[in-house]
Structure 1
Amino acid sequence: MRAFRILQTSEKPTYSDIFLPDPGPTELRLDIRCAGLNYADILIQNGTYQDIPPAPFTLGMEVAGVVTGKGESVQNFSLGDRVAVFSGQDGLAEAGVFESDRAVRIPDRMSFEEAAGFQIAYGTSHLALAHRAHLQPGETLLVTGAAGGVGLTAVEIGKLMGARVIAHARGADKLEVARAAGADHLIDDGEDLRARVLYLGGADVVYDAVGGEAFRAAFRACNPEARLICIGFASGDVPQIPANHLMVKNLTAIGLYIGGYFKFRADVVRDSLATLLGWYEEGRLKPHVSHVLPFDRIQEGLDLLRARKSTGKVVIRISNDS
C-alpha cells in the first residue's frame, strides 16, 4: 500500500510502498477513507513538535475509515464499522493498523470528511474550555486564530457553553467564518487587540493557538482571575509569561496538549469525545472543512496550513469509496 512517509528526519516526506501488518490482539485494521491534516504535521515534518516518532514513519494524526480486520481481543467493534481514530501517526496511507482504544464509532450521518477532522480540533477545544479552564456561561472568551482548525471549534464550543465570544483572525473572510460559528465580536489581526478587548470589557478566558504578539496582547487584556490556555504557537514565537503579572492580576496560565492525556487520563479524552459526538448528533456542532484534496496532493494541503490559507480543517480523501 502507499503511504506518505518521513524516511529520515532531515528529509521531506515522500510517497512509499509499505507492507501492512496484520492487527495485533487489541488492534483494528482500517481501510482509510479520509485523513485530517493538522498544523502539528508541519511541526513534525520540521522536527519541532514535542512528540516525534523515530523515522521512518507515516505522517497523519487522525483518520476515518472502515474496519476490515481486528485482533482476537477486540469486542466492541465489528468488520464494516465506520470509525475515526486519533492515531498520532500512520494516517496518511491507504490502510492502517491502530489500537482499538483510540477508535470511536462515528454517527451514520457524519461523512468521512467530517469524521477525519473531528477528534483533534473539537477534542482539543472541549478539553481546554470545559475540563481545564472551566468556562462558565456569561464569561467572555477570547479566541486567537479563530478561523483555524482548533480556533474555529473553540468559537463554536465556547458559544455552545454560553460564553460571549470574541474572535481574532486575519482578514474579513476568516472573520466571517468565525462569525458564522457563533462569534459575538470580531477583531482583525491588523487592529489593536488589547485595546479592542479592553473596550469590550476584557477577557475572562483566553484560548490561544497563535503565541507571539497575539498572546502578549491578549495577556494584557485579561480581567482579574482570567485563565489563559496555551494551545500552540502557530506564529513560531513561544511567548514568555511574566510570573509577577500572573500574581498581581491573579491570573492562571493553563497548558493543553490533548495527545498527552492518552498517557495518563485516556478516559478524559473518551468522555469528551462522547459528549462531542452527542452534540453532533443533536445538530449542535457543524464541522467546517474548507478543503478536501486527493491523496496525491497532501503537500499542497500542508502548504495551505503553513500559509494560513485554509479555514477550519483541511482533509485528504484517501479513497473515493462511500
Structure 2
Amino acid sequence: MAAVVWGRGFSRAWLRRSAGPGCGRHYRAALCTELKRPLAIEEVTPRPVRPHEVRVDVHFCGVNFADILVCRGQYQERPHLPFTPGMEFSGTVLETGTDVSTVKQGDRVIGVSGLNGMAEECVIDQKRLWQIPESIPLREAAALPASYGTAILALERRACTQPGETVLVTAAAGATGLAVIDVATNVLQAKVIAAAGSDEKCKLAMQRGAQSSVNYSQGSLKEAVKKLVGSGGVNVVIDTVGGDVFLEALHSLAWEGRIVVVGFAGGTIASVPANLLLLKNVSAMGVIWGRYKDQNFPLFSGSISSALQYCQQGRIQPYIGAVFKLEEVNDAFLHVMQRKSTGKVLLSLK
C-alpha cells in the first residue's frame, strides 16, 4: 500500500534543476521538499567546510529502507525540510578543513553521514570517514557499511556465533540477509539456512553461500526448518521480517539458541512468548547498527573497519542487485518498496 501512495501521480515532471543567477558553482542533490512525495533533483550551492570537516566527491550512495522511511516521516530521526537523504556513500576527498588530519585530497573513502549522501558532493565530519583499500572498488565499498556493519555486529557481538553453528536468516536475499550469509559462511565458518519469500530469492541465497533454503511463502517456516535440522533446531536466527516469521523462527531455535531482531520488513512487530525463552534457555535480543554511532562509536567504527578488512582479504564480496542514476532516485525507492530488490541497491552519481 505504501508503494501505491508513493507512486501516485508519479511522472518525470517533478524532476527539475534550478539555480538562481550569480550563485556560482553548484552540484546536484536529491531533495525531500515534502514528506511522502517524490524527491526532486535540484542544483545546490556548496557550503564552506568547517575546520573538522571534509568535502567528498560522491560516486555511489546506498539506498536503504531507512532512507525511504525518513522521507515519509516514519523514521526515528525527523530532519527539517528540505533535506537530502542518503546514509552511506563512497567517493574521493575534494577538500579538507584546517583541522583535518585523517584524510587528504584524493583519498578514496566510505562515509556514513546519517543524511546528505544522495548528492554529487557531501560535507561530513572527518570522524565519519574510512579510507578504502586500493583493492576495493568504490562501487563495492558503498555496499559495505550498513548491511555488513549490521551483519558483523549481529553475528559476532550479539549472537556470538561459533564455527559449525547453524544460522537461520530471514529475508535472505535482501542486502542485510546476503551480508549475513556472506559473513556467517565465509568469515565465521557457520552453516546457513536462508529463508526468503520466493524460489528465485532462495536460489540467489544458495548461490551466495547458504547451505539450504526455505521459501516461507509456501508453508510453515518452523516445519521446513525442522525437516532440515531435526528437532534440535538452529543455533542462531537473524530476523529482519518480524511478525509470524519471527515467531516461527523463534520456535526453531535449539537449546541456548539466540535470535537477533534486525528489523520489521513485514510490517508487524511480534510479542515474544517469554515461556519459550525459559523452556529452551534461549535469548532474544536486538541490534540497531546506526545507534552504535552514538552509544559506542569505537564498536561502530570497528564494524566498518572489519567489513573493509574482510573485503580486502577476499573473504566477503558484497552483492549489488541494482544501480540507478541520481535522476532515477524515485525509481530506486519504488524498486525497494515493492520488494523487487535483491542485495544492495545503489545510486550512481557519476
Question: TM-score normalised to the size of structure 1?
Answer: 0.95
The residue type equivalent to 1:186 in the other structure is S
Q: CA deviation at 1:274?
A: 1.9
Aligned residue in 1 for 2:22:
none
Looking at structure 2, the residues matched to 238 and 196 of structure 1 have their Cα atoms a distance apart, in angstroms, of 22
| TM-fit CA distance, 1:155 | 0.8
Partner of 1:40: 66
Aligned to 1:233: 264
C-alpha distance after superposition, 1:81-125 (max 9, x if no partner): 111111111011111101111111112132222111211111110
Instruction: From 272, 276, 283, give the equivalent of 1:245.
Output: 276
Preserved contact between residue 113 and residue 292 of structure 1 (Cα < 8 Å): no
Say which is worse superposed, 5-14 or 156-165, in terms of deviation.
5-14
Q: In the alignment, what sits opposite 2:175?
A: 149
1:48-63 mapped onto 2 (5 Å cutoff): 48-63=74-89
1:167 aligns with 2:182: no
Residue matched to 2:312: 281
- Correspondence for 1:176: 203
Partner of 1:20: 46
Q: CA RMSD in A?
A: 1.4
Q: Which runs of 5+ in 2 are unaligned?
A: 1-26
- Gaps of at least 5 residues in structure 1 are none
Q: Which moved more, 1:197-206 or 1:72-81?
A: 197-206
Question: In the alignment, what sits opposite 2:220?
Answer: 192
The residue type equivalent to 2:157 in the other structure is H
Quote the offset at 1:10 in angstroms. Answer: 5.2
Q: What displacement does 1:315 show?
A: 0.7
What is the TM-score when the length of structure 2 is the normalising length?
0.88
Q: 1:314 to 1:230 in 2, by over 3 A?
A: same
Quick check: 1:290 aligned with 2:317? no
In the alignment, is the contact (CA less than 8 A) between 2:144 and 2:307 conserved in 1?
Answer: no
Q: How far apart are the structure 2 equivalents of 1:8 and 1:246?
A: 44
Count of matched residue positions in the alignment of Structure 1 and Structure 2: 319
Q: Which residue in the other structure is 2:18 paired with?
A: none
2: CA distance, partners of 1:250 / 1:22: 55
Q: Secondary structure at the residue paired with 1:58?
A: coil
Instruction: Name the aligned partner's letter for residue 268 of structure 2.
Output: D
Q: Are the aligned partners of 1:37 and 1:117 in contact in 2 as well (CA < 8 Å)?
A: no
* Partner secondary structure for residue 35 of structure 2: coil
- Residue 316 of structure 1 corresponds to which residue in structure 2? 347
Contact 1:59/1:92 (<8 A) preserved? yes
Q: Secondary structure at the match of 1:90?
A: coil
Secondary structure (helix, strand or coil) at the match of 2:178 reads helix
Larger Rg over CA atoms = 2
Q: Deviations over 1:127-149 (max 9, x none)?
A: 11101110111111000000101
53-62 or 141-150, which deviates more:
53-62
Task: For 1:260 and 1:124, locate their aligned partners in 2 and report how far apart those are by CA, in whole Å.
Answer: 11
> Following the alignment from structure 1 to structure 2, what is the Cα–Cα distance between the partners of residues 282 and 115?
13
Other-structure match for 2:3: none
Q: Is the 8 A contact 1:37 1:316 kept in 2?
A: yes
Q: What residue number does 2:31 align with?
A: 5
2:150 to 119, 124, 130: 124
1:162 partner letter: Q
| Alpha-carbon spacing, 1:51–1:203, altered in 2? closer, same or farther (3 Å) | farther
